[in-house]
Amino acid sequence: MELPCNGTAAKKVAAVVEKQEPVLIRSAEKTFDGLYLLSNLDQTYPFSVEIVLAYRKGKGNATEMIKESLAKILVKFYPFAGSLTTASNGKMAVRCTGEGVPFVEAVSSSTIQELGDISWVDLTKLRKLVYYQDEVNSILDVPPLTLQVLSCCQYLHFRVL
């Protein structure tokens, strides 16, 4: 898919980003299995937060390191590997199933300058750059955490509820 630069680069270049299908990253160890009730604040403002980070490409395979680290982190933060549901009292909860966190790997031959400035959000361009589920009926259909790594300039994208 072609992603036009947002005008902050020195010259306009069409960047190509190829996103793979999501894979589920599971916890490195067995975790709690049951309902995790959400706070009153989570009940009041149920929306996702998207975070995009960019960092210089380093040595080694960052994608594999992030996958391994995520599996270890999910041991302590196990609700992120579950799914949203409604508890018997009608409030939102996380069903801790350990099913995993959707992880998307994307690849681009473009540089960060060609992709453009990520310090401000242009949703049209962001949707072309990062994995996003268009067809969801409610917040209950959105995973508590989705993670994407874009290999080129090493963008890291989080979607957190």
pLDDT value at 83 more than 90 = yes
Residue 150: the pLDDT is: 76
Q: What is the pLDDT of residue 157?
A: 57
Q: Which pLDDT does position 37 carry in this prediction?
A: 92
**Per-residue pLDDT tens over the stretch 26-76:** 999 999 999 999 998 888 877 777 777 666 666 777 788 889 999 999 999
Render pLDDT for 98-125 as a digit per residue (tens, 0 to 9): 999 999 888 777 766 666 666 666 677 6
**Are 78 and 98 in contact, with CB atoms under 8 Å apart?**
yes
